[in-house]
Chains A and B, each alone.
Chain A
Amino acid sequence: MREKRFSIIGSYQSKNKVEKVAKIIFIICALFAVVAVFSISIYMIISGTPAVYKVGLKEILFGTVWQPTAEEPRFGILYVILTSIIGTTLAILIGMPIGVLTAVFLAETAQKRLASIVKPAVELLAGIPSVVYGLLGILVLNPIIYKLEIAIFQDDPKHHFTGGSNLLSAVLVLAIMILPTVINISEASLKAVPKHYKQASLALGATHMQTIFKILLPAAKSGIVTAIVLGVGRAIGEAMAISLVAGNGANIPFLFNSVRFLTTAVVTEMSYAADIHKDVLFTIGLVLFAFIIMINLILSKVMKGGYRDADSE
């Protein structure tokens, strides 16, 4: 009796130690993400700010001339920022309706068998590496856009021909790239709408289409907004797919201008940049990072709103 009691206590103590160590290890693992985000933020700020002191915040953010390797270098990235904002907006405007309606198709109108083929295909689309989109953009999209450009600007001597490498091409590539994200999340949120909403609407005499557009889509609103915000994040952060498609001139973001995004500026010049030029590229990275953090904060607000909706039901 006594021995047994001893052994239980003994093993309890050693087990207790193991328990404590396990818990501490798990906490350390969990804190890894916190440490990572903090150190990324700190390093982005540390490496992004020196250029601001050297060149001046106003000159960088509101300057429009980008000549980093000239004798008197100029580092204005206003057009680069505008390109990212306008390019992303246009890509969302094109990609969102197509994506949401495809999601409606998959969740509501498609025959089961067709949906069971299309859905995995969309997932495949999500997994294709971004460089592959870039490759197709150069070889397929650029020639088509070039033809369009020639047709439009034939008689305009002032237009700089871009050979199809322009904002329009980049926007189309981005719109295609955000499709899988928008489709998958919108479809999931449409499917999560309680069945009785649909049944009640149909029972009241609404047609299928009225039910979709007046009941289901509004009910799935928070999921669709999430999809859009994630799409914005994906589009604004995409680099490799558009770096060779956009043409890379730091111009005003008009559709047929060769343009430079925040991301592509970093990708294409990082390999040869030096000194202040490199610092400015890190500042560009910092601007991009600020955009992303903003999007994340919006996203966490939207998600919270979504949960609240779900709770109140």
Chain B
Amino acid sequence: MPTVNSIYDKRVRLLDSFAHGMIYLCASVSILLLAGIVGYVGYHGISSISWSFLTTVPSAIKGTFGIAGNIINTLYIIIITLGICVPFGIGSAIYLNEYAKPGKLVRLIEFTTETLSGIPSIIFGLFGYVFFGQTLRFGYSILTGALTLSIMVLPLITRNTQEALKAVPSSYRSGALGMGATKWYMIRTILLPSAMPGIITGIILSIGRIVGESAALLFTAGSGYLLPKFGEYGEGLLKKVIQPGGTLTIQLYLSMEKGEYENAFGIAFVLLMIVFGINLLTKYLSHKFDVSR
């Protein structure tokens, strides 16, 4: 009896340790890759970072390089994109979660939302270039880029809001309705505030997606790198919306194409820091959300 057991154990242990080894090997490959990527970008990027790198625009006369214009463009695109897609995304999630009855329409809406999140950014880029750029005649401009991105980011907002609404206990709803609140009043004063952390998480994730986007912006927002002119009454700031403007990622791509790797690493470092910050922020929020529940 013990002999049988021991032979059986031996054979299995060999296979087991092989499987175990494979698991550890693959995990360490993944971890090393990550550490390598962050380390390499950090090591090469941090030397390019300086005050003038962050606060000036490229100057051919002085031969200097800076990304202030690209930072401003990125902010413009983030603000306009969110301004368009956040109301639509939240509204859509409210409809799907609170109003709609299961049926063909809901399935269609959910399928198209799913499809939108699966379409690669280059397709959005082509669509934005033809539709917003040519058909609507916005040309290469920050507005074209932001409109394109707002379609792209929409599913992210919708899905996160939907998850957050689903997490609100149904007793909140019946309680509010039972006290005589109308549905819209209930949504406005009970549901949305309770779902707020989830909605904000969605918005922050969208900011991350916008900051990292490049293929959808190359043919829509173009590649300007200058700071907006203030103008007499600040109208220059508004005008910037219909002028071309490249974000950080676009500038990184262009620098890479030209072989200016030092600048490229500087931008990559800045982008990595932003992604890092966004990750910390979402972690913090979801943690807080869990505790408050």
Contacts and interface: CB of A to CB of B under 8 A. Distances in A.
A40 B109 contact: no
B187 to A, nearest CB: 8
B27 A118 contact: yes
B230 to A, nearest CB: 30
A21 to B, nearest CB: 9
A254 interface: no
B26 A105 contact: yes
B26 A98 contact: yes
Contact of B114 (A18, A19, A176, A299): A299
B212 A120 contact: no
B219 interface: yes
A212 B131 CA distance: 50
Contacts of A121: 31, 34-35
B123 A33 contact: no
B115 interface: yes
B119 interface: yes
B92 A105 contact: no
Contacts of B116: 33, 36-37
A44 B126 contact: yes
A31 interface: yes
Contacts of B30: 98-99, 102, 118, 122, 179, 183
B218 A127 contact: no
B95 A135 contact: no
B92 A263 contact: no
Contacts of A289: 119, 123
A33 to B, nearest CB: 5
B112 interface: yes
A30 B154 contact: no
B115 A296 contact: yes
A235 to B, nearest CB: 10
A33 B112 contact: yes
A177 to B, nearest CB: 11
Interface in B16-71: 16, 19-20, 22-27, 29-31, 33-35, 37-38, 40-41
Interface in B155-169: 155, 158
A121 B19 CA distance: 24
Contacts of A210: 12, 16
Contacts of A247: none
Interface range on chain A (Cβ under 8 Å from partner): 35 or more
Given A120-B279, A129-B212, A31 B109 contact: yes
Given A130-B212, A266-B126, A28 B91 contact: yes
Contacts of B120: 233-234, 236-239, 263, 288, 292
Contacts of A32: 88, 92, 154
Interface in B76-123: 87-92, 94-96, 98-100, 108-109, 111-116, 118-123
Interface of A: 15, 18-19, 22-23, 25-34, 36-40, 43-44, 47, 97-99, 101-102, 104-106, 109-110, 118, 120-125, 127-136, 138-140, 176, 179, 183, 207-210, 212-213, 230, 233-234, 236-240, 244, 263, 266-267, 270-271, 282, 285, 288-289, 292-293, 295-296, 299-300
Interface of B: 12-13, 15-16, 19-20, 22-27, 29-31, 33-35, 37-38, 40-41, 87-92, 94-96, 98-100, 108-109, 111-116, 118-124, 126-127, 129-131, 151, 154-155, 158, 182-185, 187, 208, 211-215, 218-219, 249, 252-253, 256-257, 261, 264-265, 268, 271-272, 275-276, 278-279, 283
28 contacts: A15-B182, A28-B91, A29-B87, A30-B100, A31-B109, A32-B154, A33-B113, A36-B112, A36-B154, A99-B26, A101-B23, A102-B27, A106-B27, A122-B34, A125-B33, A128-B212, A130-B212, A135-B256, A136-B37, A138-B256, A176-B33, A207-B16, A208-B16, A210-B12, A237-B120, A271-B218, A289-B123, A292-B119
